[in-house]
Structure 1
């Protein structure tokens, strides 16, 4: 067994020495080629190509570094986009019910047709300018900053969401009332016409040009309970200058500021 191992080691040593000798011979041959005039043009071409390849390798190295930087930047952008997507999904799943309608401060209602409008079969005349849509003023929502500034004795345990939910219902009542007021009388049913006449009776010289509702309108157009909490919220809305009260003839009118 020992003889076999010794023989193998000696063969490996001989192979190693022979390889080294062959390499030295190749180096001597290559050195001698440089002295050969017929080989010099070829050596110049090889040198030029090696220089060209070296330049390409340097460019490739720069491009790889730029690509690595771009890859890292894209990863950061992807992480940011994923965070934004998660935040947007959270907002989508938790939309507050009291968000304002498309128009922030008013609602437009198309004006009714003029009574006695001429039929289409009559000769066409120059068209009169279309009537401007009627603007119905709304109560603006309470912001988070405003809510923080409301005195504690007014707020009690009432939350900002509860206040804005009432604001939305009040706006529904204002919209319902003034849509009826701007309808042509001929198009009204009997119950709607009775509402119209009540609205007109509640008008005074002090309500000219303003939008207001009374508690009867809140009962008519909303599901709100006119309880103690509701009146506490009205006090908050007066404090925040969203509503003001006008009392006359035993009736409280809530005017939109």
Structure 2
């Protein structure tokens, strides 16, 4: 890893050295014969700029990974404390396990002694099957690199994944209401539920989708130009598709 970074730094320094040498003769650029030199300057600057962009993406990815590892460490420490607490507080005498026996297994019972009759244990209802809400996977570094430059403009890898996180929040919030029992809904949730049902079409049946109103109701995002640029990138990365109709654009999770 260290040797790779040293080679990379050496490469960048070499490029910067070339640029300094070329800039030292920039005054000669008035000569039409030296236009090729100016063209080389431009190419070298573009190369360095692209390299710095890659550095920035890699640093953001490493920072995100580092944050995730820190959260994992905190969680593991809490689990370890819980286990230690349980280990230190195991009761010295545990209650004995009683085995129910039928009267046929007890031939020597004294008829004068009262017989303890165990109450039947009611079978527990099986838990209701939890409905899985489909969420949009985050894009990878490789996918981000494959997005055309004109499409992503100055957007970063982390900015796009932050929007995915908010979209997933809207999807989960919406479909929790749809899956909720109507009897337990407030008046506001009933109105939302009715809107959700009215927005369904035959093309969205059985699929998970949101509209701009859901973004407004459940997230802090703004449906501005930047937001729609990110939606174009998500369509390019096959994270969502659009279903239009009735004056609405439905963003379907793919």
Using the size of structure 1 for normalisation, the TM-score is 0.52
Structure 1 segments unaligned to the other structure (5+ residues): 1-89, 100-122
1:98-127 per-residue CA deviation (whole Å, 9 max, x = no partner) reads x9xxxxxxxxxxxxxxxxxxxxxxx98765
> C-alpha separation between the residues in 2 aligned to 1:192 and 1:162?
31
Q: Which residue of 2 aligns with 1:185?
A: 182
Match of 2:148 in 1: 151
Q: What's 2:67 paired with? A: 95
Listed as ranges, the matches of 1:100-119 within 5 Å are none
CA distance in 2, matches of 1:248, 1:129: 41
Quick one: structure 1 residues 252 and 133, their matched pair in 2 at CA, closer, same or farther if it must change by over 3 Å? same
Larger radius of gyration: 1
SS at match of 1:205: coil
Q: Cα offset for 1:143?
A: 0.7
Pairwise mapping of residues 1-257 of structure 1 onto structure 2 (< 5 A)? 95=67, 129-257=126-254
- Structure 1 residue 205 displacement after superposition: 1.2
Q: Structure 2 vs 1, CA of residues 125 and 206 (structure 1 numbering), >3 Å: closer, same or farther?
A: farther
Change over 3 Å in CA distance of 1:92–1:254 after alignment to 2: closer
C-alpha separation in 1, matches of 2:240 and 2:131: 21
Residue 130 of structure 1, CA deviation? 3.1
Aligned residues: 143
